[in-house]
Structure formats: structure tokens, C-alpha cells
Chain A
Amino acid sequence: MSDGLAMASADHAMAKAPPGDPQTQRFDGLSVRAQSIACLCAGVGVLTGYAALIGHALLIPVLHNWRHDLGTVVPNTALVMIALGLAVMMQVGSGFTGRMHKAGIGLSIFCLCMMIGAMVEHLFNWTIWLGETKFDDMLFGRDLPLTPGHVNFRTGFGAAMTFGLMSISVAVLGTRSTVWLYISTLCTVTAMTLSLIFVMGHGFAVSDASIFWAKLDMSLQATIGSMGVLVSAVLARPDRPAARTILSHLAGGVTARRLLPVCVCAPVVLAILYSLGKEFALIEYSSGTAIMTAMVIVMMTLMVLVSSSALNRSDRHRRAAEARQTRLMNELDHRVKNNLAAVLALFDQTVAHSRDIDALQSGFRERLVALARAHEALAESHWCSVSIGTMIDTVVAPFAGPGGRRLLRSGPTTELPANAVLPLAVTLSELATNATKYGAFNHSASLGQVELKWETVNSMLMLEWVERGGPVPQRGADGATAEPPVTRGIGRRGFGVTLIEGMIAHELGGRAEVRFEAGGLRCSIRVPLSPDPDDTRTDSRGLDVSALRR
């Protein structure tokens, strides 16, 4: 139950989805199910009708007359019930495409004529070919005994009205005309109302209590059959407004699918219980009426409560989703501003440590690109974690010659927590760009290589960047050996080292050490991968902002 509404609230966001997407396809799936249910309900009508006919033919009264005070399904009513059920089934086959099914329409019109004939017989007290005895003679070749409590075997006036209206609504099931649609809806609603009146009439045992009701008679079985056909007529066209409401994936549709079966079945069940109670002298008219009224009130209260709580749940989900969206918008704003502040700070620092405008341009651009790549990798992982391999692929490999062959990497698959991704990406980018300018990735160092090793010991990531075979030292004009080129970049500017060591220590509580050895630059990094419990990285409102905060 709650799943249904939860799903409905999730679908709420997709309500405006354009046609052709999964939303529509799922609606179609539900439509197919609705049409199957329509066929089943029509089948109830058909079976009730067949049972009554067999009961008449084989003289098994219980098949057409459950108990004498619940009325008899006369043969021609049974015939109409079968015909209408079959007509709905035919319309279901072609109805959804909006085409009319000719045989279905023909059957419906036949039923309409039968019922109009029955009404005419009642009104003028004629006996025409639709009349009870003649029809029965025709059908079974013998006189049938009159059922006690019924004046004749004629279709009751009420049943004729109900089935007549149903014939109209079934006949125009395939229409696309708005006018016929309204007429069909009106007929269905009126027929449904009449059926319910008869059910309640049986329940209150007034069907044969007066001449008026006797005239408007309709047996309980016929009522059940008519309800089946009516429900099937509603569900047979899932594209119509009423069925669209019922079949909707939204909260309203879920509620309707839950409540409507109860609404339709409850009166029937109550009526049967009531008459059984009377049969076994458990209740009498007044007490039975009181009990039945009380039961209706209790049932309706329960239904209201159940659907209200379901609606509340759905509403809570929606509000939570809205609140979450607002929170995410704020987080986005926060993140953009923090990023702008960080970029501004990066620019200021790069300016302060750049010799000239070219150095500023390349230094700032490379760092910004590294940040952007790390962001991209984080976004691809939904801000959860990024593996070291992915980070090396995106940040270092582009500098390591064709196919990244100047980079030798070794280490286990390790996922970096989101908070460690940006600082490590900036660090690796600093090392890679420095190696390109002055170290092992430099174009003049054809044998230059970088060995990148990492391992995790006790949740501590140890990463080693070791350069080998960088450019050979050049001799200065005075003949003295100039400083090793490897120290010119990071070493001279100082900013790269400051950035690497400061970032790892300040933001990750780790340690980075940059040394210049004979073979080239060596950088050792130690970073705790599971931050202390204090570092929950959630903000004061409980939203996980670990990756959003920067």
C-alpha cells in the first residue's frame, strides 16, 4: 500500500514527462492490465448469464435464483447480460485504438432493443415477442413454473432500464466523439446508480415490499452481473478521463484503485450478509437496518482514515523532496562561491609567485585544469570516491608521453575518499607539470621516467613519486655546473612545494615531502584515508557536504 503511494510521489516529479518516455510506457502497461481486468469483469457478467440460462434449462433454480427473495434472473435478462459482456470484450480488443467494433455495436443495439421492448411490455402490459412466456417457450419449448414472489418471467422494469443504459454505454465504447463520450458516461453512472439501488434494496429487503419496487425489480445475481459489465465498460477504455484517473500512477490513481473496489463490492457483501441474517432469524428489519447503516459508517470511516494517512505519507515524501531540493540549491550556491573563492586565492597565489605573465598564465591554467579534471572525476563517481588509477589517468597520464609510457605505476586498487580527491589531484598535477617543464617528462629527457608507487598500510596511503633520467645539467657560461634542472621548477619557485606540502597537511592531516635527489625529484606523501571520527564532513543541517564544500 505505502509502496504504491511512495511510487506515486516519486512519479509526481515525472508527471510532466513528455510522451514516449518510460512514464508513458508504464501507463500503457497499466492500461493493458486494466483491459485484462475489464475482460475479467465482463466475464463475471457472461458467466452469471450462462449460469442463469443453464439453471432455467436444467431446472436448477439456485443457478438463476439464489433465494426467492433475492429475485430471479429471467432468461432474456441472462441473454442480454451475456451479449453485453461479449460486446465489451470485443470493444476491448479494438477499443483502445479508438476504432469501433461492428459486432460489438450490433450486440449492444440488440440488447438495447430487447430492453426497450421489456420496458414497453411493462408500461402497456403487453406481451410481445420479448414477453416472458412466449420467449421461454421459444427458448426451452415448455412452460416454466412461476417463481414465488415474482409476477412473471418478464425482465423487471428496473433491470430493463439498467441494461438498456448499459447497452448504450457499451455501444459507444469505441467512439472518439466528445458528445457520445458524455452520453456514455451519463449512461454508465446512471446504470451503476440503479444497480446499487437494487443491491441496497435487496439488502433492506424492500425489493418485493411494494408494487413500486416489484416493478423496478432486478435480482441480486443480475445486479452482480451488471456491475461486472459496468466496471469492465469503465476500464475497457483506459484513455478516457474516468479510467485515466483510476489508472494514474499518481497518488490519486493509487487511492482510487484502492478504494473503488471496496466501494463497489461492499454494498453487495453487506446486502448478502443482511439477507442471510434475516434468513437465519439473527436480525430483523429494524435492527438489521441499524447494523447495516453502522457498518457502512464504520467502513467509510476506515477507508477515509486509510486513504488520508496514505495521502499524508505521500505529501510528506513530496515535502521532503522539496526541502531536499532547496537544500541542494543552497549547497550548490555555497559550492560555487567556495570554488570561486578558491580559484581567486589560487590566482592571487600564482600571481605572487610568478616571474612573468607567461609563467602566471601557464601556472594558473594548469592548476585550474587539474582542479576541473578532479571535479569531473568526482562528479562521475557521484561525489563518493575516485580510484587512484582514475585520478592518475586523468591528471598525470596526459603528461607522460604517448600512451603514458613514461609513467611506471604500481599499487593496489585504492579508492580515495571524496575529501582527498582534490588535494591529491592538485598535488599530482603540480608534480606532473613540473616534471614536464624541468624533470623526467621533459622532451629533452628521452629516457626520463616517473615511478609512481602507492600502498595502503593501516588506512594510511603512502604514495611515492620518483623521477629518473631527467635532463642533464647544463654548463653555465662560466663553466660551473648550473643547479640541477630538477630543482629549478618546484625548487626555485617554492610555491609548488608550498602548495603540495601545505595542502596535504592542512586539508588532509597528512604529510608531503619533496626532495631533490641525484636522479631527480622525489616526493613522498602520507595521507590518512579514513579520517578521524571527528571528521564527519557533514554540515550543521545534517547534509553530507563532504564533496560539496570546496
Chain B
Amino acid sequence: MSSPSSNDNPKPGSAIEPSASPLSAKRVLLVEDNFMVATAMQAMLASLGLEVVATVASVAEGLAAVDRGGFDIALLDVSIIGGSSEAVARKVADLGLPVAFVTGYGAVAVVANDLHRWPRLCKPFGAAELRATLGEALRA
């Protein structure tokens, strides 16, 4: 993922360094059903210094991955195979871990009220936006 946005970022990145540094070396659970998008997100996360421990596509696989654990933050596409990722998000939140949503839905409320405190990133997005959203999730 050598997209321009991640290359241009060192300068502005240094300004937000305090919020960006907690991101490094975090382990991510990625739930995204589109293979291309999942692959691109993996590359993007790697370029941000994060480690992707699991990439799954469905609600059932997501719940199983949460059971296995070993991650620090969950990055969830809202509509995945088997329905909505809300159940996965609740399970992650119950563990006291942060959640960030990714969705193609615009301004529409796509997740239930109890999940509104977690940040939401609208597709399509770049690495800088992904980093900002993950930082927000960690602070939430």
C-alpha cells in the first residue's frame, strides 16, 4: 500500500504523533467480506504498523475469532456475510476492547444505539482516515 496519502503523512503525522503512536504494534481483528477490500485494508494496516491477526468474512467466523482472542482492536465492516457485524462488535466491547466500524452506508444510522460510541469510517477511505478512526476507537 504505497498510496500517496501514507507517504505524505510524516509531516502532518508528526503533529498527531501522540495519538498515532499508541497504534503501532497493535493487533487487529479484521472483519470484511470483500476479499479485495480486505486485502487492501491488510496492506493499509501493515503500512500503519499494525499487525492483522485474523481476517474473516462472516458473522459466525467473526464470533469465533473473538472467542480465540489475541487482538487489541476490532475493525468491522458493518454488513458482512450472515448479516450485521453488530453481534461481533458487542462481543468485542464486552471484552473491554475497542471497535471501529467500516461501512459503505453514508449518513444513515447503520448500527444500534448502544454501539454509537464507536467510530465509523465510510468507504472508500485512505490510510490517513483509517489511522484517525483507529485512534478515535482507542480513545473512546
Q: Which chain A residues have a beta carbon within 8 Å of chain B's beta carbons?
A: 330, 333-338, 340-342, 344-346, 348-349, 351-352, 419, 423, 498-499, 502-503, 506-507, 509, 531-532, 534-540, 545, 549-550
Question: Would A540 and B83 count as touching, CB distance under 8 A?
Answer: yes
Residues of A within 8 A of B106 (CB): 330, 333-334, 337
Question: Would A334 and B36 count as touching, CB distance under 8 A?
Answer: no
Question: Would B79 and A549 count as touching, CB distance under 8 A?
Answer: yes
Question: Would B34 and A335 count as touching, CB distance under 8 A?
Answer: no
- Give the complex CA separation of A128 and B3 in angstroms: 107
Q: CB-nearest residue of chain A relative to B125?
A: A341
Question: Would A539 and B79 count as touching, CB distance under 8 A?
Answer: yes
Interface window among B19-27, B51-59, B68-76: B51-59
- Give the complex CA separation of A506 and B38 in angstroms: 9
Q: Other CB < 8 Å A-B pairs besides A334-B105, A506-B38, 20 of them?
A: A333-B106, A337-B105, A338-B104, A340-B123, A341-B104, A342-B34, A342-B36, A344-B40, A346-B36, A352-B1, A352-B2, A423-B35, A499-B35, A502-B39, A534-B58, A535-B58, A535-B81, A537-B81, A545-B79, A550-B34
How near does chain B come to A363, taking the closest CB pair, in angstroms?
Answer: 13
Question: Would A534 and B104 count as touching, CB distance under 8 A?
Answer: no
Residues of A within 8 A of B125 (CB): 341
How near does chain B come to A498, taking the closest CB pair, in angstroms?
Answer: 8
Question: Would B104 and A335 count as touching, CB distance under 8 A?
Answer: yes
Question: Would A502 and B104 count as touching, CB distance under 8 A?
Answer: no
User: Which of A334, A336, A348 has a CB less than 8 Å from the CB of B3?
Assistant: A348
Q: CB-nearest residue of chain B relative to A340?
A: B124
Interface residue ranges of B94-140 to A (CB < 8 Å): 103-106, 108, 110-112, 122-125
Give chain B's interface residue range (CB within 8 Å of chain A): 35 or more
Question: Would B57 and A506 count as touching, CB distance under 8 A?
Answer: yes
Residues of A within 8 A of B43 (CB): 348-349, 352
Question: Would B57 and A507 count as touching, CB distance under 8 A?
Answer: yes
Q: Which chain B residues have a beta carbon within 8 Å of chain A's beta carbons?
A: 1-3, 33-41, 43, 55, 57-60, 79, 81-84, 86, 103-106, 108, 110-112, 122-125
Question: Would A506 and B55 count as touching, CB distance under 8 A?
Answer: yes
- Give the complex CA separation of A348 and B39 in angstroms: 10
Question: Would B79 and A330 count as touching, CB distance under 8 A?
Answer: no
Q: CB-nearest residue of chain B relative to A348?
A: B40
Question: Would B37 and A341 count as touching, CB distance under 8 A?
Answer: yes
How near does chain B come to A135, taking the closest CB pair, in angstroms?
Answer: 80
Question: Would A345 and B86 count as touching, CB distance under 8 A?
Answer: no
A to B CB contacts below 8 Å, 20 in the list: A330-B105, A333-B106, A334-B105, A338-B34, A338-B104, A340-B124, A341-B34, A341-B104, A345-B37, A498-B39, A503-B35, A534-B58, A535-B82, A537-B83, A538-B83, A540-B83, A540-B86, A540-B111, A540-B112, A545-B79
- Give the complex CA separation of A539 and B86 in angstroms: 11
Question: Would A337 and B124 count as touching, CB distance under 8 A?
Answer: yes
How near does chain B come to A371, taking the closest CB pair, in angstroms?
Answer: 10
User: Which of B60, B103, B122 has a CB less than 8 Å from the CB of A534?
Assistant: B60
Question: Would B123 and A338 count as touching, CB distance under 8 A?
Answer: yes
Interface centre among A531, A534, A536 (most CB of B within 10 A): A534
Residues of A within 8 A of B104 (CB): 333-338, 341, 549
